Structure 1
Amino acid sequence: MTRPPTDDPQRAWAYRPEQPLVGTPGGPLDGLTFSVKDLYGVPGWPLHASTRAPVPDPGESPLVARLLALGATATGKTHLHEIALGITGLNGYGGTTHPREPSRVPGGSSSGAAVSVALGQVDFALGTDTGGSIRVPAAWCGVVGFKPTKGHPAWSTDGVLPLSWTCDHAGPLARDVATVARVHRALTTSAVTPQDWNGVRVGLWLPDGWTDDTVHAAVTVYAHDLETRGATVQPVTFPEVLDAYSPIVLSEAAHVHTDALRQDDPGFLPFTLGALRQGQAITEAEYRAAFDRRAAYGALLDGLLTAYDVLLAPAVPTPPPLIGQDEVDIGEGRVPLRRAVLRLTAPFSLLGAPTLALPSAAPFVGVQLVGRHGQDDRLLGLGLALEVGR
């Protein structure tokens, strides 16, 4: 059983009680410890969503309660990018830093979750993913992250402070797929076993110019490895979806934080406040038009996942950027960091497909495996096979 540290130079931890919440002895997760992203309601533990602004009370998380009943022990709450509206780890409490490179960001919004796992402080972490918030920090911290199918009954978002009810997912991070699979298996009582890659049809989504050379090379090597296992790999195309994603998420986030936004200065960081005010300004017609675009993108993804069994894609456009870095240099030139990251990850949260983020051979550069809706067990089984074979 791993335990949280007595010090916290990365500012990963939002709350650490004197005594952990000990899981039920003898359960299938007995002996495992986990951290809880500070969006989940846990009785007796504070919830601030890493902001100085007031936030709504989401009630108790049944997912946390279920993990405790299955034997896992909760050791505390982790920091996140403020209210989960960002991908670096910046928040109202100083921000979380990378577990190995103090000058760099860990990714977000589940920044503390990834750091707590990467440093071995817990066996797994509960995060959330609205546009990449599990997968991005997993990739940049060198760990595994899993975003289940949207609405998966085992991974409830009840009792979790929302960012966007349309795109929010609950899911785990861990140092290996085996731990993720163990947790998923306990929650679902389903069999998650290694899957043979022989004959698997893989669509390689590696948009030209959207990554730097390091990421491009890492994904290419990963694709070749899948071919050596018997998979067939073919390039595919898919458009940028931020014209649908951003209006939906910003509008819904502004709705969640309506009470705080009645104040002139509610306590959010300037970027967060600006984004929420932008969300308030989105009209009902613009919001509905974004859902029309979402439906069109969903049809495209359904077509791809009919022609292919899984998609392989980069999880991040570059290795972890420096703290305060707002732009990144990639193949097509200098691009705002938020856009460069989200256009790779947002499609699969916007459209709810199960996605597994895995480390690659390049340090702190991850890839994504995207499965068909509802085929979470098979996706995890494919990930398990990769881990067993290494």
Structure 2
Amino acid sequence: MTDFRASDPQRAWAHVPAEPLRGTPGGPLDGLTFSVKDLYGVPGWPLRASTRAPVPGVGESVLVRRLLELGATALGKTHLHEVALGITGLNGSGGTEHPVLAGRVPGGSSSGAAVSVALGQADFALGTDTGGSVRVPAAWCGVVGYKPTKDHPAWSTEGVLPLSVTCDHAGPLARDVATVARVHAALSGETVIPGDWAGVRVGVWQPEGWTDAAVREAVSAFGAGLEARGAHLSPIPLPEMLDAYSPIVLGEAAQVHAQALQEEDPGFLPFTLMSLRQGAALEAAEVAAAFARRAAYRAELDTLLAQYDVLLAPAVPTPPPLAGQDEVELEGGPLPLRRAVLRLTTPFSLLGAPALALPTAAPWIGAQLVGRWGDDARLLGLALSLEDRG
């Protein structure tokens, strides 16, 4: 296990207390350690959201308190992409680097969370996912990331600094599904057992040209593995949903940081400040139109999930890009990195369906499994059955 107290070359840790917060002995999560993304309110620990700008207070995180009550021990806070508004890990403290690949990004916004579990520093990590912020770093760091159904009672966002109240989710990252399932079962009281893939209807969303060849091949191979277990795979269509996602998230994020935006230079990085000011400038009609589009997209996903038990999709468009890289080369041609990533992950945070990012056989490439709303235990169980127990 890496000694993150002595050395943190990836800049994953935002706050490491002199002593961890120890969980209640004998609880169902006794023996597990976790890191906390620096959006969660923890009494006695600072909350900076990896920015030099002032941020609102949020009170105590219900989820962190509950995990401590269940026996897990909190080790400290991890860095994130500044105020969670990004997918690479860039922030006011220099940014977080990939756990293994020098010069590559770990993904974001839950960048430090992913690094802390990938390096074995914590058994699981608390992240948040608004547009892919758990799933993207999980995919690029080779770990598991779970975004529960929106407003799942086990995964409270109370006491968490929001980005978008419409799209925010709390969720964990871990090195295996078994740990994620154990945490979810303890929090929810739901039983998670390995699921049988025989007869499971899988809708495969692999939009032509939206990934590079390595990702397309990795997700196809992952799907072939499901077929070998008896699943029935069929291709499905889904549109890009950024025209609904972006106005909603930017508008709500600007409201969260309204007080800081009153200052000429509040301390945000240039892209963050530009994005927040863009959100503040949105007209009410533009935001209303985005919510109308969201409702139409929800109807499309409703229709698909009535026909299929789970969906399979890429979690990222390419392997981890270089730090500072703004564009990626896809089979459909070059595209800005942010759009290339978010159009794969935003549908399921925008619409609140539970989603898991799982490693594939190809290094640093993850696939998504998406379930029906509220069907979290079954989704986790199906994923649990894929783990090699050898």
Instruction: Give the TM bin, normalised by the shorter chain.
Output: over 0.9
Contact 2:2–2:119 (CA<8 Å) still a contact in 1? Answer: no
C-alpha change, 1:358 and 1:311, in structure 2 (3 Å) is same
* Residue number in structure 1 paired with 2:250: 250
CA RMSD of aligned residues (A): 1.0
Partners of 1:360 and 1:3 lie apart in 2 by: 28
2:179 corresponds to which residue? 179
- Contact 2:210–2:317 (CA<8 Å) still a contact in 1? yes
**Aligned position for 1:207:** 207
Q: Deviations over 1:273-293 (max 9, x none)?
A: 000010011110000000000
The amino acid that maps onto 2:211 is: T
Structure 2 match to 1:355: 355
Change (3 A) 1:9 1:82: same
Does the 8 A contact of 1:197 with 1:226 survive in 2?
yes
> Is the partner of 1:96 in helix, strand or coil?
coil
For structure 1, the 5+ residue unaligned runs are: none
Matches within 5 A, 1:72-83: 72-83=72-83
2:318 is aligned to: 318
Asked if 1 retains the 8 angstrom alpha-carbon contact of 2:50 and 2:92, the reply is yes
- Mapping of 1:1-390 within 5 angstroms? 4-388=4-388
Asked if structure 1 preserves the Cα contact closer than 8 Å seen for 2:113 and 2:126, the reply is yes
Q: Secondary structure at the match of 2:386?
A: helix
The normalised TM-score by structure 1 is 0.99
Query: Which residue identity does 1:333 align to in structure 2?
Result: G
Deviation track 1:164-184 (CA, whole Å, cap 9, x = no partner) reads 000000000000000000000
Deviations 1:95-145 (A, max 9, x none): 000000120000000000000000000000000000000000000000000
**Shift in Å at residue 190 of structure 1?**
1.3
Rounded Cα–Cα distance in structure 2 between residues aligned with 1:71 and 1:295? 40
Structure 2: segments with no counterpart, 5+ residues: none
Letter in 2 for 1:55: V
Residue identity matched to 2:359: P
2:2 & 2:68 partners in 1: Cα distance?
16
1:285-309 residue CA offsets vs partner (Å, 9 max, x unmatched): 0000000000000000011101000
Q: How many residues align?
A: 390
* CA distance in structure 1 between the aligned counterparts of 2:273 and 2:198, rounded to whole angstroms: 49
Q: What one-letter code is carried by the residue in structure 2 that aligns with 1:146?
A: Y
Other structure's SS at 1:34 match: strand
Partner SS for 1:387:
coil
Give the secondary structure class of the aligned counterpart of 1:198. Answer: coil
Deviations 1:213-258 (A, max 9, x none): 0000000001111000000000001000000000000000000000
| Secondary structure of 1:10's aligned partner | coil
Quote how far apart the aligned CAs of 1:389 are. Answer: 6.5
Once residues 190 and 237 of structure 1 are traced to their aligned partners in structure 2, the CA distance between those partners, rounded to angstroms, is 32
- The structure 1 segments of at least 4 consecutive aligned residues displaced by more than 3 Å after TM superposition are 1-5
How much has 1:84 moved relative to structure 2? 0.1
Q: CA deviation at 1:2?
A: 8.7
How far did residue 4 of structure 1 move?
4.0
Q: 2-side partners of 1:177 and 1:79: how far apart?
A: 23
TM-score, with length taken from structure 2 = 0.99
| 1:5 to partner: Cα distance | 3.9
CA distance in 2, matches of 1:303, 1:138: 28
Amino acid at match of 1:289: A
